[in-house]
A and B are shown apart, each in its own frame.
Chain A
Amino acid sequence: MIPPKRILSAINDYWPLLEVLVKRFNLSDFSFLDVQTIIKQQQPHLSSDKVFKEVNKLLQLEIIIPLAKSSQLEINRAIADFCQHLLQEENLGAMGEISALVDDLTRVGQRMYNAGLSDDQYELARNARIMDDRVRKIVKLFLHNQNAIFNLVEQAKSNDTHMSLAKRYKAVIEAFDEYIEPMLTMVDIGGHFKTCFAQIEHQISELIEYIMATGKFNQEKRMLEQLRTRILDMYLTGQKSLTKSADILLPLREELRRNTQLTRQAANVLSRIRKQGVNAVLGEFVPAFQSEPQKMSLGNANQMVAYMAELNEFEQAEYTLPNPDEIDRYALPHVPDYDKVKHCFFKQSETTPRSLFAFLEDEYSGLEADELLYLYQKLASDPAINIEQAEQPMTLAHHQHQFILHPYHGAINSNEQP
């Protein structure tokens, strides 16, 4: 027998090589030369002699074994399984595997039950150990298959695989139809597994009660309790793993369904177009892009935006009338009749020029500033008055307002005297 430690250290040393072998050949056979080439690639500095020795060493350790009646080699199955597990490169197992193990579990459970009731300590312990082993195996298979399905999905999804669409999806469909669906029905409430586990659990519980009542086999009692927990846990693991797998497979299955439907329909429609013409077949079905009114009646973009803004304001801004109490009442202007003002000016100023502003300020001091200025400009532009403008700007005041202007001085125009 080869010491396990040596095998482990060899696996450690040759891991890069094993990884390539597992991934590339996927459990199929390969030649001595293949292994040599891979080693040569990974360690180019090694001489051919040395490479040959390395391969031989692997053969001696039985990590690589020759195929029966052939010069081809393969990886030792136990090592390959271990490597695949480590690399998560698992392949989907058959549903039958798990099913057979569960059936076996029921059988062994029955035997253990009988042994317990007939006080056969040795048989009880032996069968409990076998059951424990089966349970571990089943859990391992569930997880293994879940990983395998994840790989399958990755593969089906990735675009670089050269597998054709049909083939890619074939694996998915197979996984679903042959593993997930039957497994789900078995794990389901009322399914085969559920009844098996219920029966086993019942038997174990009864045994534990019996042991407690008789006070015998304390050691075995603990073992049985552990077993019961483990079975329950296994059931949950199985359910979880299956739902997870189903969840990731379902979308792919949908995609395939849609794609095949689409391809079939495309072919179908094209063949109809060949016979009946494009317009007859596609006529009313193709999406319309721009309707006649859309094309004709919209005007240019600016009009459009203005119109939309108008619409928007119409909808949004409701005009609220101001509260009548809050606004100042409208006051009528007190501007006196211009002719009267002019007459008054003429009366006062005779022929000597007089400041228009001073005149208005004296005579009409009660007026508002704007009213005063209105009269001021009216007088200033009157042709009947001769106007002279001051050269220096002056600051004039009326009530609290101040004006800076070149004030006008006006005298009666002798030609236009009224």
Chain B
Amino acid sequence: MTHIDLSQLSLLKAINKKLVSGYHISEQDRELWQQLDQQIEQYAALFAALGYELVQDARGFVYLYADDATPSMGKTSRSFALTIYILIEHFANQGNDPINALFDQDIDLSLMQSLVQHNKHLFDQLEIFSGSDLRKDVFMRMVRLGVAKATEQGFLLQAPAYRYIDALLEINDFQEMTAEEPA
């Protein structure tokens, strides 16, 4: 059994507060991340004792696994997913490497406006009607959950966004499966 020494987990309170609220701790939260990274086994054991699964992703983030979301969080998460997929398409259309661009390029209000304009049908479903809606309802929430960080120009996606990219690949696996089944 992992030895848990609370004196070493000096940031437990802050880490717990963030993780339980659904926040993803990544390298941008330097202090918390460093301690989590160093004491990950102890933290994992501690949260496991509380009935949570602490997940550390090799791409540089930590979160509490939740198997079903609250309804409001589910909607938020879907809006994140849609925005990220639209961004991937947008960057690919511009001839950029979508993954690199996704994590390297600032997303400013004018880009948000053009995204909403070009994908009106999609954003309408989430009741996002303008660039500032997108900013408020999606990107600000992303910041609150650690998926993005605010920069001078706008927002920059962070490593936790990889969860959505993984999910994207899963959707297609599922699609292929259902497509194969009737045959």
A residues at B contact (CB < 8 Å):
159, 164-166, 255, 258-259, 261-263, 265-270, 272-274, 277-279, 281-283, 285-292, 294-295, 298, 301, 304-305, 307-309, 311-312, 315-316
Supplied contacts A263-B89, A267-B89, A282-B171, 18 more A-B pairs, CB within 8 Å: A165-B95, A165-B97, A255-B97, A259-B92, A262-B88, A266-B85, A268-B175, A270-B82, A273-B82, A278-B82, A285-B81, A285-B174, A289-B63, A289-B76, A290-B22, A290-B66, A290-B73, A309-B6
Number of A-B contacts (CB under 8 A): 148
> Which candidate, B26-34, B44-52, B130-138, is the interface stretch facing chain A?
B44-52
CB pair A316–B76 under 8 Å, yes or no, is no
Which residues does chain B contribute within 8 Å of A288, judged by CB atoms?
66-69, 73-74, 77
Given known pairs A285-B170, A289-B66, the reply for A266 and B88 (CB within 8 Å) is yes
Which residues does chain A contribute within 8 Å of B22, judged by CB atoms?
289-290, 294
Instruction: Find B77's partner among A281, A287, A316 (CB 8 Å cutoff).
Output: A287
Query: Closest Cβ of chain A: how far from B27's Cβ, in Å?
Result: 19
Interface on chain B toward A: helix, strand, loop, or mixed SS? Answer: helix
Given known pairs A262-B98, A287-B163, the reply for A282 and B52 (CB within 8 Å) is no
A-B contacts, 10 of them at CB < 8 A, read: A159-B97, A258-B99, A259-B98, A269-B171, A278-B82, A282-B171, A286-B167, A287-B163, A289-B76, A294-B52
Interface on chain A toward B: helix, strand, loop, or mixed SS? Answer: helix
B residues at A contact (CB < 8 Å):
1, 3-4, 6, 12-13, 16-17, 20-22, 46, 49-50, 52, 63-64, 66-70, 73-74, 76-78, 80-82, 85-86, 88-89, 92, 95-100, 104, 119, 121-122, 125-126, 145, 163-165, 167-172, 174-175
CB pair B50–A286 under 8 Å, yes or no, is no
Instruction: Find A165's partner among B82, B96, B175 (CB 8 Å cutoff).
Output: B96
For the complex, give the distance between the alpha carbons of A262 and B170 in Å.
11
For the complex, give the distance between the alpha carbons of A267 and B6 in Å.
48
Which residues does chain A contribute within 8 Å of B125, judged by CB atoms?
273, 277-278
Which residues does chain A contribute within 8 Å of B70, judged by CB atoms?
290-292, 295
Instruction: Find A259's partner among B6, B73, B97, B145 (CB 8 Å cutoff).
Output: B97
Instruction: Find B89's partner among A166, A266, A282, A304 (CB 8 Å cutoff).
Output: A266
CB nearest to A278 among chain B residues? B125
For the complex, give the distance between the alpha carbons of A258 and B52 in Å.
32
For the complex, give the distance between the alpha carbons of A272 and B98 in Å.
20
CB pair A311–B175 under 8 Å, yes or no, is no
CB pair B16–A268 under 8 Å, yes or no, is no
CB nearest to A300 among chain B residues? B17
Which residues does chain B contribute within 8 Å of A269, judged by CB atoms?
85, 168, 171-172
Which residues does chain B contribute within 8 Å of A316, judged by CB atoms?
3-4
Query: Closest Cβ of chain B: how far from A165's Cβ, in Å?
Result: 5
Which residues does chain A contribute within 8 Å of B98, judged by CB atoms?
259, 262-263, 266
For the complex, give the distance between the alpha carbons of A270 and B74 in Å.
18
CB pair B4–A274 under 8 Å, yes or no, is no
CB nearest to B77 among chain A residues? A286
CB pair B21–A304 under 8 Å, yes or no, is no
For the complex, give the distance between the alpha carbons of A294 and B47 in Å.
12
